[in-house]
Chains A and B, each alone.
Chain A
Amino acid sequence: MRALPVGDDALLLEVSSGEEAQALHAVLLRRRAEGALTVREIVPAARTVLLDGLADPDRWAAELTASRIPRVPSRARELIELPVRYDGPDLAVVARHWGVTEREAVRIHAGSEFTVAFCGFAPGFGYLTGLPERYAVPRRATPRTAVPAGAVALAGPYTGVYPRTSPGGWQLIGTTDAVLWDHTRTPAALLTPGARVRFVPLGDT
């Protein structure tokens, strides 16, 4: 692990894989819950975890780089099931990329277990990992100006669900009626970093 200082009161902890980042994130959340770590934000991302608003970044840099972080996250988190209609306009494109039929593409996606690696782009938009590397797909050459809320989409190694209508360049494979973001709910985001997710096909898709 590398600990890179970010300004006067933040640290960017960099590890070598997404799984390690998820494991590190879980460790940091635990330390905060125990009262050992006082920090304003813990922001996981693809290969890093950012600690922002940290009183003593140098001490934490030394302590964390010296400590052993598990290589894979524990599977202790709850499993969220998202009902999906696999009716997205890009399902055929994705199936072609994967070299399978649309029906088989649905089987692959719905047969995988995902983890929310991190959030970004919009409140409640999770970047979910879980598909094998060979199923990574490119973004669309031309982003759509409006992707509807609930659209289930793929880009690179990630699956995401649009919490509300927004522009987007991901490949749309399906739709869910689940409410991804509701600021009156706690937590407001349905998919929080570390959560496990399965997509459950609806109807005859």
Chain B
Amino acid sequence: MSDRVLVVVRSGALTTVQDRGRPGYAHLGVPRSGALDPPAAGLVNRLVGNPPDAAVLETTLSGCALRPRSTVTVAVGGAPSPVSVGGRPAAWGAPVVVPAGELLEVGAATAGVRGYVAVSGGIAVEPVLGSRATDLLSGLGPAPLTNGTVLPLGIPAGPPARVDGAPQPAPPAELVLRVTLGPRDDWFTAGAVRDLTRRAYRVSSASNRIGLRTEGPALERARSGELPSEGMVLGAVQVPPDGRPVVFLADHPTTGGYPVIAVVRAADLPAAAQAPPGTPVRFVPVRRR
């Protein structure tokens, strides 16, 4: 067996393989999936010299620990966390060499939610429909990591970036999500649209890769009945019967029957992926571009 593998020593709460996902198959019922914070995943790939579509690991709050069987360059980004190699502190947000057999420990996030670990050569599990991403809704792609999982690594494409570190946005104290209203805002009362854009919501602990769930005022429907299933987009603010808005993230279902009151700008979704439960959320209406 090749030495170009990574052994998962501690998988953490939820660590998955992610890349840029598998867009283009929604008509077959396939979610797009992919890293929830694409800029952070792209940055750690650049730091280790990987192409932007290389697969990385996405951790959730509690980090992970990994042991490569050959010497690799890694970079840890996204949610800030302590990093150590062989028990010695190492840099976060910068290329770090992990000698063969040494333990890379990514600690619990000190802020934010999702950490990203890029390894030179990328995680080389078999792609499914052009992507190595784990899709937690449909089950496509590799299963979430467990202790003892052995991950194949690809061949490094180029040298690591010659930088000491790279600036990354701090996780938000308050999550401000710009929204355009519609397509189904007419299913809600005028009061509900006001509530959405003026009142305070918080990130719910029930949030996951499928959606950012919120706690706050229930949005009142102006009409009852069911909406026939329709196509859903990334960032859709769907309102289930309990009235609490859910912002669709990468593993969202491709069709749905609950009305979408508004859509979050794609540029604001990486911050949504880094907002821990309890973070205040404000939905700010903007005009379509």
Contact = CB atoms under 8 A, between A and B. Distances in A.
B95 interface: no
Nearest to B183: A4
B128 A43 contact: no
Contacts of A105: none
Given A5-B288, A7-B235, A10-B233, 8 more contacts: A4-B183, A6-B182, A6-B236, A43-B254, A45-B230, A119-B27, A120-B256, A188-B28
A52 B26 CA distance: 10
Interface of B: 23-30, 128-129, 138-140, 180, 182-184, 228-233, 235-236, 253-256, 260, 263-266, 288-289
Interface in A134-180: 164
Interface string A47-59: 1111011000000
Contacts, number: 114
A100 interface: no
A41 B140 contact: no
A43 B27 contact: yes
A192 interface: yes
Given A7-B265, A8-B180, A119-B254, A44 B27 contact: yes
A45 to B, nearest CB: 4
A193 interface: yes
B263 to A, nearest CB: 3
Contact of B255 (A45, A164, A192): A45
Contact of A40 (B23, B128, B129, B254): B23
Contact of B265 (A5, A8, A42, A164): A8
Contacts of B29: 119-125, 189
A68 interface: no
Contacts of A192: 27-28
A4 B261 CA distance: 12
> Max chain A CB contacts within 10 Å: which of B28, B140, B266, B289?
B28
Given A4-B183, A7-B265, A46-B229, A120 B235 contact: no
Contacts of B263: 6-8, 10
A187 interface: yes
Interface in A83-136: 118-125, 127
A197 interface: no
B140 A45 contact: no
B233 A123 contact: no
A125 B30 CA distance: 10
Contacts of A75: none
A120 B253 contact: yes
B228 A7 contact: no
